[in-house]
A = this chain, B = another copy of it.
Amino acid sequence: MPLDEFEFSVLKTIQTHHLIFPGHKVLVALSGGMDSMSLLNILLKLRQKLNCEIFAAHLNHMIRENAIRDEQFVYSYCKKAGVKIFVERFDVPKFCADRKIGIEEGARAARYTFLNRIAHENGIDLIALAHNLNDLVETILYRIVRGTGLSGIVCMKLKDENKIRPLLYFKREQIEAYIKRNNIPYVQDETNFNLKYSRNYIRHRIVPALKLLNSDLENAFSQVHFSGMMLENHVKRLIKKYSERIFRCGKRIIFDSKDMDEFEIIELVKYCAGQMNVDLNYRQIQLVVSKLNENSWSIDLSEDIAIKKGFDFFSIEKKCKFMNILKVGKPGVYKFNDWTFELSSEVKSNEYVFIHDQGGVCIRKRKAGEKIAGVKMKDMMIDSKIPAFLRDEMPVVCTIDRIIWVPYVYVDRCFKERKEDSLVLNLLQNPYSCILELRKDERRKMV
């Protein structure tokens, strides 16, 4: 049978955007509603041309009474059509009650877990979802209105890892007309439970009201979506480009923002916070932006994650306690915060001092207002380009009566010369060397 106009348009979309490649196995998420039934029928009609294999999967969420009716409907439809279908039941209400999450959120999670598992177990490449342009408009509207800033705009994508949405740029009315034209049976959809009120409200009240201003509202929103997609790709590329400026050191992710603009810095902050499973909210972003020109600050992002700035460095870090003092006595390895030292008889590193006094030394944090030879330790640290967020963790190596070494900041020359019986305190590992080496040329020369 030749393709009708709608099927042909879907084929064009699949080809232009490279959604399906020859040999692909495609799993249609089949609720039994109009959209997914259309998608299944269209893909079945295109499968020869696309040279792909079509499967279906249906999860009975066990929420609504007629869920069994839907399950039986899609099962027998696929049997008749000769399509292999995977059907499972999952007690979503129980799952959500156990986890204290909303029914929509739980259903969504269960569905995607199910689809991904079926795909994985059966060597299936792609999961085809039946979202249409109206879903897209409604979702963008919902997200903008609820307050997600620009990031809310990129909510559904034609292709998103193993998920494809071949109907995303088609209107609901086109799909309905296709269903009618071809006498395709369907059931009422079972999705969007909790969101139902908002969704239906947007669909039946807001969208028609907006259409009085622009009857082609869908087109207006696909513009926004299209710009949003390009922007998202740009941000991905930006982060890739700047990846060599991102350092993972212990409990921190630090990046060097030198010469970046506001937009770039905020995207990097969001990316690094994301790596720590934190989403910044709008107030936090505004706060960070308002402080971009200030030198040293700290903002809590969550109970245990903070963002700190020092010079051009931003550190997104887990809060934790620092060590205050560590006694160094016998030869051996010593850990002070993230710094590793070894006291031994040999020089084993580029960074070391000789310990003449068998009375031993200690490694401690700096003290408030502390001075070395009349110069404030704080000023020495500033001159040495130690970011503020590192200063309280820096190891200060002392004998009983004097500071002999603060790596990258100060060293007492007397302790750079070997004496008889001297031991060597080697700095073996320092997770911040990447940061501290970076600005070496800018450091004021120490006397």
Indicate if A206 sits at the interface (CB-CB under 8 A).
Answer: yes
Is chain A's interface secondary structure helix, strand, loop, or mixed overall? helix
Complex interface: chain B residues within 8 A of A213 (CB): 142, 145-146, 198, 201-202
Query: Are B262 and A145 interface neighbours, CB within 8 A?
Result: no
Say whether A324 faces chain B, with CB atoms less than 8 Å apart: no
Contacts of A147 in B (CB 8 A): 214, 216, 219-220, 223
A224 / chain B contacts, CB cutoff of 8 Å: 144, 149-150
B220→A263 contact, CB < 8 A: no
Chain B minimum-CB-distance residue to A261: B237
Q: Which of A261-293 contact B (CB under 8 A)?
A: 261-264, 266, 282, 285-286, 289-290
State how many angstroms separate the Cβ of A104 from the closest Cβ of chain B: 15
User: When each residue 228-247 of chain A gets 1 if its CB lies under 8 Å from chain B and 0 otherwise, what string results?
Assistant: 10110110010000000000
Contact (Cβ within 8 A) B261 A223:
no
- Partner among B145, B202, B210, B266 whose Cβ is within 8 Å of the Cβ of A220: B145
Residue of A147, A153, A212, A228 with most chain B CB atoms under a 10 A cut-off: A147
Residues of B within 8 A of A231 (CB): 150, 231, 263
Q: Given the complex of chains A and B, what is the CA–CA distance between A169 and B198 in angstroms?
A: 27
B residues less than 8 Å from A237 (CB atoms): 261
A266 CB contacts on chain B under 8 angstroms? 230
**Interface presence of A101 (CB below 8 A):** no
- Bound state CA distance, A145 and B223, in angstroms? 10
Q: How far is the CA of A226 from the CA of B210 in the complex (A)?
A: 24
- Cβ-closest chain B residue relative to A206: B209
A113 interfacial by beta-carbon distance below 8 Å? no
Cα–Cα, bound, A226→B287 (Å):
12
**Contact residues in B for A226 (Cβ distance below 8 Å):** 149, 282, 285-286
Q: Is A51 part of the binding interface, using a Cβ–Cβ cutoff of 8 Å?
A: no
Q: Which of A314-333 contact B (CB under 8 A)?
A: none
CA distance A202 to B214 in the complex (A): 12
In the assembled complex, the Cα of A145 lies from the Cα of B140 at a distance in Å of 12
A217 at the interface (CB under 8 A from B): yes
Residue of B nearest to A262 (CB): B230
Interface residues on A, range: 35 or more
A234:B262 contact, CB within 8 angstroms: yes
Min Cβ gap A311→B in Å is 21
* Inter-chain contact A150/B228, CB cutoff 8 Å: yes
A214 to B210, CA, bound (A): 17
A349 CB-CB contact with B under 8 Å: no
B-side contacts of A145, CB under 8 Å: 210, 213-214, 217, 220
Q: Nearest-CB distance from A15 to chain B (Å)?
A: 12
Measured in the bound complex, the distance between the Cα atoms of B144 and A233 in whole Å is 21
Nearest CB in chain B: distance from A333 CB, A? 47
CA of A50 to CA of B202, assembled, Å: 46
- Taking a contact as CB atoms under 8 Å apart, the answer to whether A264 and B234 are in contact is yes
The answer to whether B206 and A149 have CB atoms under 8 Å apart is no
| A150 with B233, Cβ < 8 A, contacts A142-B213, A210-B145 known | no
Contacts of A201 in B (CB 8 A): 212-213
Q: Is residue A148 contacting chain B, with contact meaning CB distance below 8 A? A: yes
Across-interface contacts of A150 in B (CB, < 8 A)? 150, 153, 224, 227-228, 231
Q: Which residues of B contact A182 (CB under 8 A)?
A: none
Is A433 part of the binding interface, using a Cβ–Cβ cutoff of 8 Å? no
A142 to B202, CA, bound (A): 17
Is A16 an interface residue, CB under 8 A from the partner?
yes
Q: List 9 A-B contacts (CB under 8 A).
A: A145-B210, A146-B213, A148-B220, A150-B224, A150-B231, A206-B210, A226-B286, A231-B231, A233-B262
Beyond A147-B214, A149-B227: 17 further Cβ-contacts under 8 Å? Answer: A16-B290, A144-B220, A145-B213, A147-B216, A149-B224, A149-B226, A150-B231, A151-B227, A201-B212, A201-B213, A206-B210, A209-B209, A226-B282, A226-B286, A234-B261, A234-B264, A237-B261
